[in-house]
Structure 1
Amino acid sequence: MMMMKLVSSRVLFLFVSVFVMWVRVNLAEGENGHGGIRNYISWEDLQVDEQRLTLKRHDDVRVIVVNKYGGGHSKTVQGAVDMVPENNKHRVKIYIYPGIYREKVRVAVNKPYVSFVGKRNQTASPVITWNSKSSDRGTNGQALGTFDTATVGVDSDYFCATGITFENSVIATAGVKGMQGVALRVNSERAMFYQVRIKGAQDSLLDNTGNHYFLECDILGKVDFIFGSAKSLYKNCLLQSITDDFGAIAAHHRNSATEDTGFSFVGCNIRGSGRVYLGRAWGNYSRIIYSKCNMDDIIIPEGWSDWNQSDRKKTAVFGEYLCDGKGADRSNRAPWSKSFSYDEVAPFLHKSFIDGDEWLRL
């Protein structure tokens, strides 16, 4: 009798141990065992451990698997986003298998702490693509406008993504009205993008509002292919012009000197075709700085445009610091742009520019 009780106790202990291990494995992704709200983005938030990944019900785990060919929790990226609980308080990773996902995706403000993690293989990574342009008609019969053309729109706080291509496949000629087509729109208060590809033509990336960090990303387009009113640091990115004739890399919107916003490009490479401006003054106090960037010979010698608003020459903040390459020659630059000293550029060089010490742990 005593022996039977002993065996039963051991079986119960083994069962409980296995159950606890199963729970730990499935909660490990995005939780790190602390159980509290993590108001920051870390490298862990951009990784999925395939060795520990088991396909359970999406509400049992914090990794939601997307595979357009089946075998995941969802065949679409939006379907996976819809599975994230509203007002979520824990990191949820959406793990996306390679494939072309033809859909519009929206990550709402009430779904924070979401990661998009692309599963790479030897030949491909996932691509989320659509082809809306601003002149297209919406369900209300009115033109979409640039904002609503976004293939992927992110309003979620503490959002991050890696290993994915965001694409708007509209083929636009520079300057043609109604051809704006956004691949990625970011309205997050805080968001990070690491080794993603953002591809469009006119207005590829709407970096709209909030503080954002783009690290080692490839961003392609023709006209104003990075634009918006955000405060963002672009570090070690590839900025690639695909225009046939003329275009512009960045257009920042800032209406007053008191607005703490701007685009800072640090250590980036500028490559591609055509002739492009470094930036255009979309707002009166537009602020764009390039530091330690390498520029191919595709930069229009003047470098900067006042958007045909001559008063903006007095208030826009356009600067360069220790850039090199044939396109970095400042001898014919717009005289109202600046060659920054170290003291002037220092506030724009590091993650502190976007208050990253508060929400990035990298």
Structure 2
Amino acid sequence: MKWVNFVGSLKHSLFKTAKNKLSPSHTLTVSKKHGSGHFTSIQAAIDSLPTINLVRVVIKVKSGVYTEKVNIPPLKSFITIEGQGADKTIVQWGDTAQTKGPRGLPLGTFNSATFAVNSPYFIAKNITFKNTTPVPAPGAVGKQAVALRISADTAAFVGSQNMGALTAQGRSSLLEDSGFSFVHCKVTGSGVLYLGRAWGPFSRVVFAYTYMDNIIIPKGWSDWGDPTRELTVFYGQYKCTGPGASFAGRVEWSRELTDEEAKPFISLSFIDGSEWISL
């Protein structure tokens, strides 16, 4: 698909904008110890930047546990957060979807994030983002708790410990015409991942013709602590390759699709693509 290849290439205008912003123009230091850094909190360092930031800023965060909720606004682009090791530099908070916000209303899943990034060209290195909320009982309502939320394009993570799921599809009924389909993709990185977790009881995700590196947990899929969802989810692979693509270790309630089963998911008709993608 020419359109998809163009958007994902360095020839795209989005990437051209950032070519001269890869090297740091400004460096700040955060340390829990007073006097050994410019700031004692990550949010304070971010708040010190211009409302519209147009240069690469590296915020070096020294070892320690930073118990704070961090938000990077939409116009503060080109920020790098660099810790001293994923096991040494940790940012944590404990909000859930039902935590009351400033106006007394529940925050919701979106705003429960410990660390929220709303601007493009964000980079995180050698740091862990954590939500300290205890794992809820299966089927609990309002207990969603996000560690890291990215709401912008072009973000990269290096040397971080964010074991989790690549997808969390929220289909809640067999009648819903929704799902995720990844065709001719490449899953690589340095973390450890499930291909998906059952956010909704009828969660539906398919990977086809996709290369998977050895970062994929052999079981492949998570029922998110609710075994009843194993009866209703639709998780499938079709002609995938790579060291992480072996179907041998997958959970028994996932599927290795036949040609006929895969057909609806590898066509543009699955997302009504012919109506909005120009080939």
What TM-score, normalized by structure 1, do the two folds share? 0.51
Consecutive unaligned residues of structure 2, counting only runs of 5 or more, are 1-15, 172-176, 260-264, 267-279
Q: Is the 8 A contact 1:116 1:162 kept in 2?
A: yes
Q: Is the 8 A contact 1:262 1:287 kept in 2?
A: no
2:38 aligned counterpart, secondary structure: coil
Partner of 1:103: 68
Query: For this pair of structures, how many residues does the alignment match?
Result: 234
Is the aligned partner of 1:251 residue 2:168? Answer: yes
Q: Which range moved further: 142-151 or 254-263? A: 254-263
Whichever residue aligns with residue 57 of structure 2, its letter is V
Q: Which has the higher contact order (CA 8 A, sep 6+)?
A: 2
1:65 aligned counterpart, secondary structure: strand
Is the aligned partner of 1:173 residue 2:136? Answer: yes
Query: Hey, what's the Cα distance between the residues in 2 that align with 1:265 and 1:338?
Result: 22
Q: Cα deviations across residues 154-182 of structure 1 (Å, max 9, x unaligned)?
A: 01110001011111111113522222111
Among 83, 102, 118, the alignment partner of 1:155 is 118
Q: Cα deviations across residues 237-264 of structure 1 (Å, max 9, x unaligned)?
A: xxxxxxxxxxxxx424697689989985
Query: Hey, what's the Cα distance between the residues in 2 that align with 1:323 and 1:332?
Result: 19
Query: Hey, what's the Cα distance between the residues in 2 that align with 1:140 and 1:261?
Result: 43
Q: CA deviation at 1:119?
A: 3.0
1:328 aligned counterpart, secondary structure: coil
Q: CA deviation at 1:287?
A: 4.6
Q: Structure 2 matches for 1:17-28, cutoff 5 A?
A: none
What TM-score, normalized by structure 2, do the two folds share? 0.64
Q: Structure 2 matches for 1:1-362, cutoff 5 A?
A: 39-40=18-19, 44=23, 62-70=26-34, 71-120=36-85, 125-175=88-138, 176-198=140-162, 219=163, 225-226=164-165, 250-252=167-169, 265-266=187-188, 278-280=196-198, 286-288=205-207, 291-293=212-214, 313=234, 318-319=237-238, 320-323=240-243, 328-329=248-249, 332=252, 334-335=254-255, 337=257
Query: Hey, what's the Cα distance between the residues in 2 that align with 1:270 and 1:152?
Result: 19
Identity of aligned residues (%): 23
Query: Hey, what's the Cα distance between the residues in 1 that align with 2:72 and 2:222?
Result: 40
Q: Cα deviations across residues 76-129 of structure 1 (Å, max 9, x unaligned)?
A: 100000011122111011111111111100001110000001135xx9522111
2:124 aligned counterpart, secondary structure: strand
Between structure 1 and structure 2, the one with the greater Rg is: 1
Q: Is the 8 A contact 2:220 2:251 kept in 1?
A: no
Q: CA deviation at 1:326?
A: 9.0
